[in-house]
């Protein structure tokens, strides 16, 4: 089976499996009766809860967060009436909420530079049917990944970038995001700093990955300097991009132990493996509406 045929088959299978699955995210002041009210509403509309997670910062005056995934026959035909009816519950309990529908896949753009390992991980997860999204475009400031990306039938746009032409580059990139109707931007080792103007277009929509030596080894050659210090743990952090460099809300992190036997080459190999899996998990959780951003932190319902 060709690459395109397999991708098409996955998309058809995904649509069939997800067409009647809805998701509800809620945040509000914690008080009695919220779960009961939401569950009763779903029962009255003949929706079956298939997954439910909740969290309270403090049962006495704290914030309450809820994620419910539910099944409802012919959901897309009923969603407008369904959401209109829920407004009564939301107004009564002062809920900040959002609905999403699993079959309406988010449209993802991937930005990459020369190192392809995070891009390859995302493409494999998508190709294998484990990343429920439409990867609609890949943008790079190098040509290295073009052949690989285009072999999947994904458009590839090469836009050279440096600090001297950054505003013009970002103008082109924003135009492409609008053209492809992108919902999520993934920086899969895209080695360019984004300006506040660019970031402001996509609040809580840009996901980045970096090594977790920060802030100890900021800047170039972090693995070499970490090796020189004899570090015992290395890891990776995936987070939403804000105007504070590498300080946005954290979605996922992971680590592995290392020791004096691991040279610089081995440290880099281990680090890349961690980065790949951390970024893939963070993107997957975002796509599945498992992340609620609150100020500069996240609640992640895994």
What the block records as the tokens of 198 is 């660019």
Q: Considering Cα of 50, then 102, then 199, then 237, what sign does the dihedral take?
A: positive
| Residue 182, helix vs strand vs coil | coil
Which token pair is 195? 């300006």
Q: Which residues of 104-113 are buried (b: 16+ CB within 10 A; e: fewer)?
A: ebbbbbbbbb
β partners of residue 69: 23, 51
Query: Would you call 126 helix, strand, or coil by DSSP?
Result: helix
**CA-to-CA distance for 214 and 192, rounded, in angstroms?**
17
DSSP 216-233: TT-SS-HHHHHHHHT-SE
Task: Out of 134, 246, 254, 259, pick the active-site residue.
Answer: 246
Determine contact, residues 100/128, Cβ cutoff 8 Å.
no
State CA 62 to chain mean position distance: 27
What's the alpha-carbon Rg for the chain, to the nearest Å? 21
Determine which helix (DSSP H) or strand (DSSP E) holds 255, and give its type and residue range. strand 250-257
Q: What is the DSSP string of 15-26?
A: HHHHTTEEEEEE
Cα dihedral: 10, 115, 251, 300 (round 10): 20
Q: Is 233 exposed, middle or buried (0-12, 13-18, 19+ CB in 10 A)?
A: exposed
Identify whether 246 is a catalytic site residue.
yes
Active site residues: 246
């Amino acid at each position: 089976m060709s690459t395109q045929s397999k991708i098409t088959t996955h998309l058809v299978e995904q649509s069939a499996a997800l067409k009647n699955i809805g998701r509800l995210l809620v945040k509000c002041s914690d008080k009695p009766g919220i779960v009961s009210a939401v569950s009763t509403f779903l029962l009255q509309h003949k929706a079956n809860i298939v997954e439910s997670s909740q969290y309270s910062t403090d049962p006495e005056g704290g914030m309450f967060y809820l994620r419910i995934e539910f099944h409802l026959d012919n959901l897309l035909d009923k969603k407008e009436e369904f959401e209109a009816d829920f407004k009564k519950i939301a107004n009564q309990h002062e809920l900040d909420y959002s609905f999403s529908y699993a079959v309406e896949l988010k449209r993802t753009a991937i930005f990459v530079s020369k190192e392809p390992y995070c891009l390859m991980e995302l493409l494999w997860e998508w190709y294998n049917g484990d990343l429920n999204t439409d990867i609609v475009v890949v943008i790079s400031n190098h040509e290295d990944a073009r052949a690989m990306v285009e072999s999947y039938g994904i458009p590839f746009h090469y836009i050279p970038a440096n600090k001297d032409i950054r505003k013009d580059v970002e103008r082109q990139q924003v135009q492409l995001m609008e053209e492809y109707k992108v919902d999520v931007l993934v920086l899969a080792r895209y080695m360019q700093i984004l300006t506040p103007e660019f970031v402001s277009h996509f609040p809580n929509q840009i996901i980045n990955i970096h090594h977790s030596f920060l802030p100890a080894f900021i800047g170039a050659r972090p693995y070499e300097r970490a090796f020189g210090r004899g570090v015992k743990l290395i890891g990776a952090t995936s987070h939403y991009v804000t105007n504070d460099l590498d300080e946005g809300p954290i979605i996922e992190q992971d680590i592995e132990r290392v020791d004096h036997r691991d040279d610089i080459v081995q440290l880099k190999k281990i680090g890349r493996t961690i980065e790949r899996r951390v970024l893939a998990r963070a993107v997957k959780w975002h796509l599945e509406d498992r992340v609620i951003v609150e100020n500069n932190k996240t609640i992640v319902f895994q």
